[in-house]
Each structure stands twice: as structure tokens, then as C-alpha cells.
Structure 1
Amino acid sequence: MNVKVLSTGSEKGSCIYIATEGASILVDAGPSKTKIEKLLLEQNYDPTKIDAIFVSHEHGDHTDGLGFADKFKIPVYASEGTLKAIGRLDSGRVVKTNGFTGFASFNQSYMNVKPFNISHDAMEPFGYTIHSADKKVSVLMDTGCVNEEMLTAMEHSDIYVFECNHDISMLHGNPKYHDGLKYRILSDIGHMSNDAAAEALSKLVNGRGEQIYLTHMSQNNNTAALAEKAVKLALFDKGFVKNKHYKLEVI
């Protein structure tokens, strides 16, 4: 399974490339359509070979580049609520949490995509798990909390693409953010803090070499060092050491 975080964050937009030998998808299309094409070509990924785009929710930093799908005639998959919100219910493909969407399913390099509910201030937001013959990837974009249903959906993954949005102390002390915005970010339908991400990952990671990507970091309320420290400490409490029991990259 090939996983590449092409772009992430509210400013740049989120877009994750995931592929097996037989299929390739994008999760979210936040950058502009020309930027997505450029990002793919820079990695030697063929834009014409993308089988589908799965959208987590309707916010612009996850959908502004969906013109890329139109240019290359790529089907767009999302919840019914998300497709309604972006005006694609008639042209998009509805996915539900009780089923898989499969690609190249009759050979050894198949890919199955399954959505799960997340907690964000959007119409019907989803995270996604992507399964191949021998790997599982969990993509958790914007969510204000991680509950047991989400943990069950993501358990036993080999790769985690996780939101790690803010450091709580930095957010509280940021004079540029009014109290209403702080409340929205900190709420259960807002964004995941470093501490929340670390707690969730400590419940998921089993120390068998899992790859973790920390994404969607706030440029104003977080640093890569703080995000990495929170996760490393939480996993160290379980006896796990970076590069020995798991791999960690902050995007």
C-alpha cells in the first residue's frame, strides 16, 4: 500500500493519495485542481489513473479542488449529506458506513474503502479505512473527538493519517482568536488537539511497526515539535519507542 500526504492543513487544503498495484484513490481534494495535478505529477503519479476521490466533508479545504475530478472524469464518493452540501448529490456516489466500496477486487492488489462517522461541524462527515490484501490504512481528518465507534473502525491499522490540529495552551493564549472561535475549535465538533490525538493513538498503536502521519496542523496554534512530543510521550507510557515500535512523521 502506497500512502502519500500530498497536502494538508486549512491554508493549503488536504489531499491524500493511497494506492495498491491495481487501484489508486484520493481522500479529499482541498488544493486547487491545478495544484492537485501538479502534486501528483511531482510524485510521478498519473492523474489519469485515479479511480475515485473520497470526500470527508464539505469544507473548502477538503473540496475546493474537486474540479480535478471533473477534468479527469473521476467519480466523487461521499456521504449523502456531504454530496448535498457540495451540490453533487445527482452526480456523486453515496457511500454508507455499513458497506465497502471496492476497486480491482478480483486480483491480489484489490482495495476496499469503508467510511466511518466522525464528529465535526459539517453535514455528515466521514473518516475512511482503506483495506488491501495485507494492509489497512485509517484516515481521520477533521474531528473534535475520537469515540469508541471511531476507535473500533480504525483498530489494527498499519498506517494512520491523523489530524493533530492544535496545542490547547497555544490556542487558549492566542489573542488573534476570539472566544467563539476558540470554543468552536475545542468543542466535540471542532478539531482534534495534540493531546486528543495522542490519547487515541495510544489506544490504537500496538507497537508492530505502524506508520503514523500527523496532519492538519494549525499554523497559528501548534508546532511540529509539540505535536510529536505529545504522541511520543503517550506511546512511551505504553512502552513504545519511535523507530523501534512505530514510525512517526509530522506533515
Structure 2
Amino acid sequence: MRLTILGSGSGGNCAYLETDETRLLIDAGFSPRQIRLRLAQIGRSPETLHGILVTHEHTDHIAGLAGLAGKLGLPVYCNRATAEEIVRYHDMSFDFRLFTTGATFEIGDVVVESFSVPHDAQDPVGFVLRTVSGRVAFATDLGHFTRLVGDRVRNARVLVLETNHDVRMLQECPHRPWSLKQRILSRHGHLSNEAAAEGFEQVVGDAMQHVLLAHLSRDCNRPELALGAIRERVERLGARHVQVMVTSQDQPSPTLSL
């Protein structure tokens, strides 16, 4: 199994997962051109994809769908509420493969588990992708770490975890109105570094080997702050078998091969 975070942040989110039989995108929040360019950097192209999994309908997760899934006829896997918002945003239909939130389904040799997350979208989900090399969990765009989220991601070998903001930086940010700050800080907003670290402490175990820190705010966080928060828990818990890496908005992260 090979996993590459093609980019993650407020300006766009997209990940690529590949097994011997299956090639998937998780979200498509960049322009089609950017996604194509970033796939090319790892020697891949959209034409070989078997589908796109969508967590929710916010623009930084679906902006590239029309130029990829629409143009190439790729299946789009999402729940009904998300599909309705995608159609409204892009003003076109897609080859939707609808699932009910909480359902488990298969795409080739990948078993996909969906689960509900608390975020300010119609019906946002996280995913656990079960492969022969282990589980990859996506827990991004959530306002707090629920018991359900913890139960679903606990046995993951790889955890893609939101570390969106440093609370002090967000509170002091001069570019954001207070209403937006309240939304981000709410229980249906985004995880702070500290909240992500607390969630990590709840679920880390012997199975977990990699944590990829995702969706960092360009204005209200710094990679070193996100890394520091998680690594402090790694040291406190003696979980030195876990490798922690920060993803980037601007370029693909190094590919994990398991």
C-alpha cells in the first residue's frame, strides 16, 4: 500500500492511496490541473483512478471534481446529502456511488469504512481504508474527537489527523472576524493542535506507526507547533514507535510505502 498526501490545508485537500489492484483519491479539493500535476510528481495520472472518496462538500474538498470525475467519468463515493451539495456546487451530475454514513463497502481490494464526524457540513464523514498492509484512517475536518471517531481509528496503522490551528494564534489573528473564529473553535469546527494531541493519546497503540498531521491553517498555525504538540504526547506515552510527519498545502508529502 502506498499513500501520498497530495496537499492538505484550508486551500485544498487531496490524498492518493494505491494498492496492487486499486487507486483512489480521498477528496479532490484542488483544481484539476493541480491534482494532475501533483499526481505526475509521483508518476501517476487521473486516468488510472478507480474512484474518488469525498468526506464532505466544502470547496477545499470538492473543487476539482468536475474536471476529474466529471470529465473522466470516475465514480464518486459519498453519502446522499454530500452528493446533493456537490451537484449544487458544480451544476452537473456525476457517477455517484452512494453509501449511508456508517456503511462499509469495497472498492477493488480496499474495504472502506465510513463514520460520522462533527463538522459544519451536511453529513461529513471520516474514512478507514482497510488494505492488506493495514488500516489507513482519515480524521480531518472535525470540531472535537468523539468516542465514535476514537473507536473507528484506534486500530489504524496510519492516522491522517487534523491539526488545524494553535488556539492563541487563532484568537489573535487580525485577518479573521470573531464569528469565523467562533466557528473554527466550536465543537463542529476544526481541531486545534492540543485537541488533536488529546485525541491521539486516546487512540495510540501498538498498531499505529504513522501519524500525518493535516489541514494546518496557513495563518493560525505553524508546522513546528503541530509537531511539538503530538511529539510531546509521543514522549509522555513512550510511543516512540510512532513516526509523526506534517503535511503541506503546497506540495505532496513523501509517499508512505507499507
What TM-score bracket applies, with the shorter chain setting the length?
Answer: over 0.9
Write the deviation string for residues 61-92 of structure 1: whole angstroms up to 9, x where unpaired: 00000021122211001111111111177741
Which of structures 1 and 2 has the larger relative contact order (alpha carbons within 8 angstroms, sep 6+)? 2
* Contact 2:161-2:211 within 8 A present in 1 as well: yes
Residues 183, 98 of structure 1: CA spacing in aligned structure 2 closer, same or farther, 3 A cutoff?
closer
Unaligned runs of 5+ in 1: 105-109
* Contact 2:26-2:53 within 8 A present in 1 as well: yes
Looking at structure 2, the residues matched to 27 and 134 of structure 1 have their Cα atoms a distance apart, in angstroms, of: 18
Which residue of 2 is the match for residue 136 of structure 1? 135
Which residue of 2 is the match for residue 38 of structure 1? 37
Looking at structure 1, the residues matched to 173 and 215 of structure 2 have their Cα atoms a distance apart, in angstroms, of: 18
Looking at structure 2, the residues matched to 98 and 15 of structure 1 have their Cα atoms a distance apart, in angstroms, of: 22
Offset at 1:37? 1.2
Letter in 1 for 2:97: R
- What SS does the aligned partner of 1:86 have? helix
Residue pairs, 1:221-236, within 5 angstroms:
221-236=220-235
Which residue of 2 is the match for residue 111 of structure 1? 110
Residues 59, 234 of structure 1: CA spacing in aligned structure 2 closer, same or farther, 3 A cutoff?
same
Letter in 2 for 1:189: H
Which residue of 2 is the match for residue 75 of structure 1? 75
- What SS does the aligned partner of 2:156 have? coil
Offset at 1:240? 2.0
Q: Which aligned segments of 4 or more residues in structure 1 are displaced greater than 6 angstroms?
A: none
- What SS does the aligned partner of 2:195 have? helix
The two structures have a TM-score, normalised by structure 2, of 0.90
- What SS does the aligned partner of 1:112 have? strand
* Contact 1:80-1:89 within 8 A present in 2 as well: no
Identify which range, 203-212 or 19-28, moves more after superposition. Answer: 203-212
* Contact 2:73-2:95 within 8 A present in 1 as well: no
Aligned length, in residue pairs: 242
Residues 78, 63 of structure 1: CA spacing in aligned structure 2 closer, same or farther, 3 A cutoff?
same
* Structure 1 position 101 matched with structure 2 position 105: yes
* Structure 1 position 247 matched with structure 2 position 243: yes
Letter in 1 for 2:7: S
Unaligned runs of 5+ in 2: 248-258
Letter in 2 for 1:103: I
Residues 89, 78 of structure 1: CA spacing in aligned structure 2 closer, same or farther, 3 A cutoff?
farther
Write the deviation string for residues 157-177 of structure 1: whole angstroms up to 9, x where unpaired: 000111110001111111222
Looking at structure 2, the residues matched to 90 and 21 of structure 1 have their Cα atoms a distance apart, in angstroms, of: 26
Identity of aligned residues (%): 32
Residue pairs, 1:196-235, within 5 angstroms:
196-208=195-207, 210-235=209-234
Which residue of 1 is the match for residue 158 of structure 2? 159
- What SS does the aligned partner of 2:173 have? coil
Letter in 2 for 1:82: T
Looking at structure 2, the residues matched to 142 and 209 of structure 1 have their Cα atoms a distance apart, in angstroms, of: 21
Offset at 1:96? 2.0
